[in-house]
Structure 1
Amino acid sequence: MSAAARQRLSDMQPAQQAGILCNDPIFQRFAAVRSGLPGHQFNASAAGEYLRGVCQITSRTTLNTSKPAQAQFAALRTEFDAWSGRIAQQR
């Protein structure tokens, strides 16, 4: 796939972003750690359950229409990006 054909994650709908994140092994590990299970690895389904719980939704598609859920998802993405070293953590 060419660089021009690839869509940036931040340009996608929130529900699509959430689906991609839940399939990311690093996010799955993050979700396990945040769930109090350090040393464990969630699968995509468990990561999705974690995400829905944090965002207080029953379906990821709700992320496309609910402003409160979008705010929770944005905060979760920021926490994940900091945890994974993708952005600098605040001191």
Structure 2
Amino acid sequence: MDIATAKALLPEIRLNLETIGPEWAESYDVKSGSSQVCDVNVKTGEVYPLVTIHKSCPSDAREIIRKVPTYLRALLLLREEAVREYRKLASAPAKSEKAPDYAAECGMRCNDPMFRRFLTEQHGLETSDLERVATRVRSMLAVSSRAELNSDPEAAARWISLRAEFEAWKRMP
């Protein structure tokens, strides 16, 4: 069966489930000596056989036959809940899991006077020229371009370490 066929059957399944009792019961027909699965007419209370079960039918198969309405209702309920959850998630605004832009952050830090002072005091860097600062920071991070900070995990780790060193330096008295 394909999904289109299954979808087309859904209204029919719902309609037919409304016409049968909530549970089927197993009964015994004295005349034939066979077990039967029976339904109860919800309006009249009349019990009527649906299926005669052969004596060799295993007990687990009997259980499945007897519980068909319960299983179908459970599956429909689970489907409805899944649709509700799907719609809730689909209508929720998407959370952007934007990756950090270490290259841009590094560029901004190179323009930061406090970061330049840190580089001078802690790493002996001459910071009068912005290009020298950028070149020296790339050298310290062992990258030829700041863009590598976003593509190379090891370079990103070196930037994070330098940034943490700067943050610790700022907290020093």
TM-score by length of 1: 0.69
Q: Secondary structure at the match of 2:144?
A: coil
Q: Which residue of 2 aligns with 1:44?
A: 130
- Higher-Rg structure is 2
Q: Which residue of 1 aligns with 2:149?
A: 63
CA–CA distance in structure 1, aligned partners of residues 119 and 128 of structure 2: 7
Q: From the superposition, tell whether residues 21 and 75 of structure 1 become closer, same or farther in structure 2 (CA, over 3 Å).
A: same
CA–CA distance in structure 2, aligned partners of residues 67 and 55 of structure 1: 12
Q: From the superposition, tell whether residues 55 and 67 of structure 1 become closer, same or farther in structure 2 (CA, over 3 Å).
A: same
Q: Which residue of 1 aligns with 2:102?
A: 14
Per-residue deviation, 1:47: 2.2
- Where in structure 1 do 4 or more consecutive aligned residues deviate above 6 Å? none
* Structure 2 counterpart of 1:50, one-letter code: R
TM-score by length of 2: 0.39
Q: Secondary structure at the match of 1:51?
A: helix
| 1:24-77 deviation per Cα after TM superposition (whole angstroms, max 9, x unaligned) | 00111111223325xx64443222122212210011111110111000000000
**Is 1:32 matched with 2:120?**
yes
* Structure 1 counterpart of 2:139, one-letter code: G
Q: Which runs of 5+ in 2 are unaligned?
A: 1-98
Q: Which residue of 1 aligns with 2:139?
A: 53
CA–CA distance in structure 2, aligned partners of residues 42 and 81 of structure 1: 22
Q: Secondary structure at the match of 2:105?
A: helix
Q: From the superposition, tell whether residues 77 and 71 of structure 1 become closer, same or farther in structure 2 (CA, over 3 Å).
A: same
CA–CA distance in structure 1, aligned partners of residues 131 and 124 of structure 2: 17
CA–CA distance in structure 2, aligned partners of residues 49 and 19 of structure 1: 11
CA contact (8 A) 2:127 2:133 kept: no
Higher strand fraction: Structure 1 or Structure 2? 2
